[in-house]
Structure 1
Amino acid sequence: MDPRDDLPLVLVVDDELRSQEAMRRTLDEDFRVLTAGDTDIARQLISRHEVAVVLCDQRMPGQTGIEFLKEVRERWPEVVRIVISGYADSEDIIAGVNEAGIYQYVLKPWVPEHLLQTVQGAVEASQLHRGLQRLELDLRAGPQALRARRQTRLREAKAVFDFDRIVRAEGSPLDGVCATAQRLARYDLSVLILGESGTGKELLARAMHYASPRQNGPFVVENCGAIPDTLLESELFGHRRGAFTGAVEDHTGLFQRADGGTVFLDEIGETSPAFQVKLLRVLQEGEIRPVGSARAVPVDVRVIAATHRQLEDEVRAGRFREDLYYRLAGATLQVPPLRERPGDILPVAESLLDAVARELGREPAEFDDDARAVMVGYPWPGNIRELRNEISRALALGDGPLLRATDFSRKLLGGQTGAAHAQRTSQLTGGTGLALPGSGTLQERLDAIEAMVLREVMLRLRWNKTHAAKELGLSRVGLRAKLQRFGLETK
């Protein structure tokens, strides 16, 4: 059996082949993807396969995306629907979103990360729908069966999102972050998580939710920087029928759906001052007012927010409200980027290698020493997300169960300047010391570090000894002696 058979199935409907392939590449790591160039083919595919989510471009020949998704709603109501459009302010789109029961619409030009997050949320909605169907069966079976199934699902979620499952090396800087997060999880404080994109802020938030007294409640996610303010307000707080043109039915916002649970607001630093005022009122009053409603609705949620920006700097610059900042930052966690915890690179890479190999249906693989040296020597500006992409590429292009340095992209081999390399070496040998070998005498450990640095430099400089000697401050004779000493003389 192909391991990918267990992945959710997503159908992309777009008459432009280039757009189809771009979405396929974005989604293919986490989902099985089918594509259709017109709605006739799309109907056949939905009829034959158990599709979880369908993404449809609005401008389609013969039938608009909204019209097709209305039909999908009628014939296959369990399929979650997403429309893609370049017309953000079109009243037709807003009206169609409600009439066709659209989960969300994505604006062009779409951002791969946002598209992936949107589809992940849609898949969760699809799974929730199927879960509700199972719930109906459980209710018929009796309360004991219901409680047993609920406890089973909770145990499974806690096992996946436990703090101990956040991969890191022994003595990692993340140990302190996770320990603090675990203590904070027990209390109903708002938490602000700071860190660069791709460092795993959402994973940390999920772990906090499942370690909290709210673990039986929902955990919902919204990327605040991915959609316009008008839609963000409706998405979070809901709207009433007739609130605006196209609002043909009531819409329940995420805060109401998360009642009793946790709302994770990602990229909170991207919101406008006008929206910040509305969010502040919600946090102060503990109630939301759906768009077009005269009545406030009480909600019981915990808010965890995250951003790649330093919000204190944004407050000083007048771009973020100070009062909202203090409401969100009941406690603050700073997730360090991957380059500041080099000891975590290899454990994270090993974990990703196993996961990606299963997703791609590949046999188990491992890294050779040169590949390890290259990964440790690269600064990873895109953090764990970039590391995952490189491993996926290496598995797809590599030959056999052993991944080599040459299977990585060229930027990993040539992505550092001499200054960056010097800084990296300083991190490896000083600072945290996380990359030091775990055993041996002082000299043996220093030799291991020296061999690793030599290997990384030679690979990055394509075995050019003149350039390597200059960067390392050695003569060619001295460099050759060291390469011979550590068995690195041959490429």
Structure 2
Amino acid sequence: MTRRLPTVLVVDDEVRSQEALRRTLEEDFEVFTASGADEALAILEREWIQIVLTDQRMPGTSGVALLRQVRERWPDAVRIIISGYTDSEDIIAGVNEAGIYQYLLKPWQPEQLLLTLRGAAELSRLQAENQRLAVDLKTAAPVLAARVGERRDRLARHYALDRLVRAPDSPMNALCALVGRLAALDIPVLLTGESGTGKELLARALHYDSPRADEAFVVENCGALPDQLLESELFGHKRGAYTGAFEDRVGLFKQADGGTMLLDEIGETSPAFQVKLLRTLQEGEIRPLGASRTQAVDVRVVAATNRDLEAEGRAGRFREDLYYRLAAFPIHVPPLRERPMDIPLIARSLADETGAALGRRFAPLSAELVGCLTAWRWPGNVRELRNEVLRMAALAEGSELSAAHLSPRVLRAADTGQEAALDLIDGLQGDLKTRLDALEARILKECLIRLRWNKTRAAQELGLSRVGLRAKLVRYGLDGG
């Protein structure tokens, strides 16, 4: 398909000027000619003209007067006028009224003329494209709105508090009920607790259950960036504000305007940055780096930290005034070891999630595996538990996740701290013989689970004969493993 050339209407009462303009333009444009305003208007009635190029001085109607009519009836046509030097002031007076794109002074130069008309053709193309886009957007607006609404509803369902995995007797039940009540109250919330306990999930649930659910939810890890980059991320910057700032940047506060922002690891920020953040929270406005004016923002701030900010404030490492601004309502999220009843349910959920990603379906967790999981203290909380489930899924030979594939530290259910052995002994009850028997039984079971109940290998590792091992297993009720 041959690409159509841009169309231009040349209006000039002098035949020689018409021909000179035609010869100059005909390689790049489809050229129409007219000797006066009436003939030009007739051509415009029947042809699609993108550019009107007219002389100013013509018998009857002047070029500016003609272009006024063109603007009223064919506003999309790009209007250009050519005049002699003596006419320039008259043309300037009519530029706004006639909407003239450009005017050229005689004698015109071919290169200048072509450059001007190529620019006019590009302008005409962009105008037409904008009109098509406007129509498309108007047509698509209901569909886009429906899709946005569907996505918002899907996110709200995904992060709903009742989907947070927990047991009927979990301490998380009271916490989730509290978060549900706070969602409707537009106040700052500070989530505290160890890494991996689900603070971000609670922050998302807070947002999607709040009146701000239709707007953005934005997350920034404050401990991952130095001050200048963190300020740029949150507040934005103007081009040239610092080395490497090659263009303007809209900060996350502006992107979250009307919505919610989670400032994760807020305890890692410097005192200098804390001052700037405090001003933003107090005044409800930001100043991008390098900007001379502030911008108003309306953002609900949820902060999260694994530090004790009150203690940090007393030590002078965190501003107390900022703490009270952030902690209008502090919520502590308990670690996994304080809610062992949740561990089997979370592990099962993670197994289902992993299986769906791998195209597999895993069997229910065995009592042996559940016992190993609940015995571990989980310093990494849910993140660490997820890694263990992924490890077992990767090593599983069938549909069952095996305790034998747990990490050695989890399998032994021993803390990584120096007090692990003392914690183990403290959990044993009875006289010395009873405690030693319980400890021996535990060592035997751990060894057998790790070796997938291969009794020959277990006997070799423990320095026992197979008969001796069997006798101990019978004694401790482990022979059925």
Please state which band the TM-score falls in when normalised by the shorter chain: 0.5 to 0.7
Partner of 1:19: none
Determine the structure 2 residue equivalent to 1:460: 446
Residues 1:246 and 2:244 aligned together: yes
Q: Is the contact made by 2:362 and 2:400 (CA closer than 8 Å) also made in structure 1? A: no
Partner of 2:479: 489
Q: How does 1:283-432 map to 2 (within 5 A)?
A: 283-416=281-414, 417-421=420-424
Distance in 1 (alpha carbons) for counterparts of 2:344 and 2:369: 10
Matched, 1:162 2:148: no
- Structure 1 distance, partners of 2:441, 2:186, is 49
1:314 Cα deviation from its structure 2 partner: 0.5
**Equivalent residues in 2 for 1:193-272 (5 A)?**
193-272=191-270
Amino acid at match of 1:387: L
Say if 1:455 and 1:230 are closer, same or farther in 2 by CA, change over 3 A. Answer: farther
Distance 1:277 1:152, change over 3 A: same
Shift of the alpha carbon at 1:404? 1.6
CA separation in 2, counterparts of 1:257 and 1:425?
Answer: 56
**CA distance in 2 between partners of 1:253 and 1:455 (Å):** 60
Per the alignment, do residues 304 and 424 of structure 1 end up closer, same or farther by CA in structure 2, a change over 3 Å counting? farther
Shift of 1:242: 1.4
Percent identity between matched residues is: 52
- Alpha-carbon distance between aligned partners in 1 of 2:440 and 2:303, rounded to the nearest angstrom: 42
Could you list the per-position Cα deviations for residues 427-465 of structure 1 after superposition, in whole angstroms to 9, with x for gaps in the alignment?
Answer: xxxxxxxxxxxxxxxxxxxxxxxxx99987653355899
CA–CA separation in structure 1 for the residues paired with 2:252 and 2:330: 23
CA distance in 1, matches of 2:211, 2:441: 49
CA distance in 1, matches of 2:329, 2:255: 24
Change over 3 Å in CA distance of 1:251–1:461 after alignment to 2? same
CA contact (8 A) 2:285 2:296 kept: yes
Give the direction of change, closer, same or farther, for the CA distance of 1:400–1:372 in structure 2 (3 Å limit): same
Question: What is the CA distance between 1:405 and its match in structure 2?
Answer: 1.1
Amino acid in the other structure paired with 1:420: D
SS at match of 2:360: coil
Q: Counterparts in 2 of 1:96-175, with a 5 A limit?
A: 139-175=137-173
Offset of residue 149 of structure 1: 2.2
SS at 1:403 equivalent? coil
Find the aligned partners of 1:218 and 1:342 in 2 and give their Cα distance: 34
- Counterpart CA distance in 1 for 2:356 and 2:170 is 27
SS in 1 for 2:331: strand
1:190–1:268 distance in 2 versus 1, CA, 3 Å: same
Relative to structure 1, the CA distance from residue 423 to residue 144 in structure 2 (aligned partners, 3 Å threshold; closer, same or farther) is farther
Q: Is the 8 A contact 1:373 1:456 kept in 2?
A: no
Number of paired residues? Answer: 320
Q: Which is bigger in relative contact order (C-alpha 8 A, separation at least 6)?
A: 1
Distance in 2 between the 1:298 and 1:394 partners? 50
Secondary structure of 2:237's counterpart equals coil
Distance 1:461 1:172 in 2: 32
Residue 358 of structure 1: how far off its partner (Å): 1.6
**Which SS does the other structure have where 1:157 is aligned?**
helix
Three-state SS of the structure 2 residue aligned to 1:303 is strand
The Cα shift of 1:137 comes to 9.5
Sort the Cα spacing of 1:264 and 1:489 in 2 relative to 1 into closer, same or farther, 3 A: same
Question: Are the aligned partners of 1:194 and 1:335 in contact in 2 as well (CA < 8 Å)?
Answer: yes
For 1:242-275, what per-residue CA distance to the aligned partner results, in whole angstroms no more than 9, with x for missing partners?
1112212100000000000000000000000000
Distance in 2, Cα, partners of 1:406 & 1:331: 44
Give SS of 2:219's match: strand
**Structure 1 Cα separation of the partners of residues 154 and 237 of structure 2:** 34
Q: CA deviation at 1:317?
A: 0.7
Name the CA distance, whole Å, in 2 between partners of 1:339 and 1:425. 19
Mapped contact 1:209–1:215 kept (Cα < 8 A): yes
Q: CA RMSD in A?
A: 2.9
